[in-house]
Amino acid sequence: MKCTTLIIFILIITGCLGPVTDLYPEDDEHRPHPVYILSHGWHVGIAIESRHILDKIPEHDQFPLTEFLKFGWGDNKYYPHQDPGFGLLLRAALLPTRSVLHVVGIDIPIENFFTGSDIIKVKVTEDGINKLAEFIAGRFRLDDQNNITFVADGYYRNSAFFEATGRYFIPKTSNTWTARALRQTGAPITPVYAVTSGNVIYQSRQFGEVIHLR
C-alpha cells in the first residue's frame, strides 16, 4: 500500500503541468502580451517588453533602457566568462555556485536581433506578465542599500551581468530557470522536465508560436 501511494505521488509531482486557467485562458485574444523564449544552443533565456519590469528593478547606470529586455540566468563564473574552459564548466555543473543574470537591451524586433536562435512567442495575460516581471525582478541580488550589483559587461553591445539570487548546479540550470519564469504566466510548461534547452523549446512549441527555428 505504501509503495502504491509513493508511485502515485511521484506521478503527480512529475506529470506534465496544464495551464493555470485563471492566468492563461485558452483564447489568446485574452492574452495580449508577448513573451519570447530564445535558445542560443545550451542556454535558454526569456524576453519581454521592458515597460512591464523597469519600475520593479532599482535603477543602475549599466542597466539597458530599451524597448525589450532579454534575461538569462547562470553560474557567476562560467556564464560571464568569454572563454571559460573545462574547469569552470565542471565547477558550474557539479558545485552549487553563486549566480548572475544576463540582461540584454533590444530596440529592434526580437527575431532581427537574435537571427541565429530558436525563438518561440507565447502570448500571456496582464496578470501573467506582471507575475513574470515580479519573478524576474525578484531574482536580482540586492546589496545593503537595496541596489543591484553590476558584475561584468554582457555579450552584446547593450548588455550586462548582474548578481542574482539562487545557486546554480545541474539540473538547476538556465533552462529550468527560464521554464520556471514562464510558468509564472500560467503557461502549461513543466519546469522539472526542462533541463535542456531543447526541451524548453519543445514544450514551448506546444502552446506558443514558432518565430524562428535553426
In the sheet with 209-212, reading across from the earlier edge strand, the strands are 150-153, 159-168, 97-106, 68-75, 44-49, 33-39, 118-124, 209-212
Percent with pLDDT over 90 in the chain: 70
pLDDT at 89: 46
Closest C-alpha among 48, 50, 19, 54 to residue 34: 48
Section 69-74 average pLDDT:
96
Q: Provide mean pLDDT across the span 50-67.
A: 96
For 14-44, the pLDDT digits (tens) are: 567 888 878 999 988 899 999 999 998 878 9
Q: Is the pLDDT of residue 1 over 70?
A: no
**Residue ranges of the domains in the chain?**
27-212
d(CA 99, CA 139): 10
What is the number of H-type helices and E-type strands within the chain? Answer: 6, 8
Which of 80, 103, 98, 83 has the alpha carbon at shortest distance from 160?
103
Output the pLDDT for position 11.
Answer: 38
Please, what is the average pLDDT of the chain?
A: 86
With a cut of 70, say whether residue 103 has pLDDT above it.
yes
Please count the other Cβ atoms lying within 10 Å of the Cβ belonging to residue 96. Answer: 11
Q: What is the pLDDT of residues 161-189, one digit of tens each?
A: 999 999 887 778 899 999 999 999 999 99
pTM of the model: 0.87
Pick the more confident residue, 110 or 3.
110
